[in-house]
Amino acid sequence: MMTLIHSKLVFKHMVELPHCECVFCSTQEESTGRTRIYLLFKERHKVYQRNGAKGNWEELLDAEDRQHVWDGFEQAVMERKIPSFVAASSDFAAL
Q: How do residues 28-87 score in pLDDT, each as one tens digit?
A: 998 889 999 999 998 888 999 998 888 899 999 999 999 999 999 999 989 888 877 777
Domain, as residue range, for 29: 9-86
Whether 45 maps to a domain, the answer reads yes
- pLDDT exceeds 70 at position 2: no
Whether 27 maps to a domain, the answer reads yes
Could you list the beta-strand ranges (E) of the chain.
9-17, 22-29, 35-41, 46-51, 56-59, 84-86
Whether 1 maps to a domain, the answer reads no
Whether 82 maps to a domain, the answer reads yes
Tell me phi and psi for residue 86, to 5 degrees: -125, 125
Verdict on whether the full-model pTM lies above 0.85: no
What is the β-pairing status of strands 22-29 and 35-41? antiparallel
Q: How confident is the model at residue 24 (pLDDT cuts 50, 70, 90)?
A: very high
Residue 79, number of CB atoms within 10 A of its CB: 9
Whether 14 maps to a domain, the answer reads yes
Q: Give the three-class secondary structure for 65.
A: helix
* Domains contained in the chain, number: 1
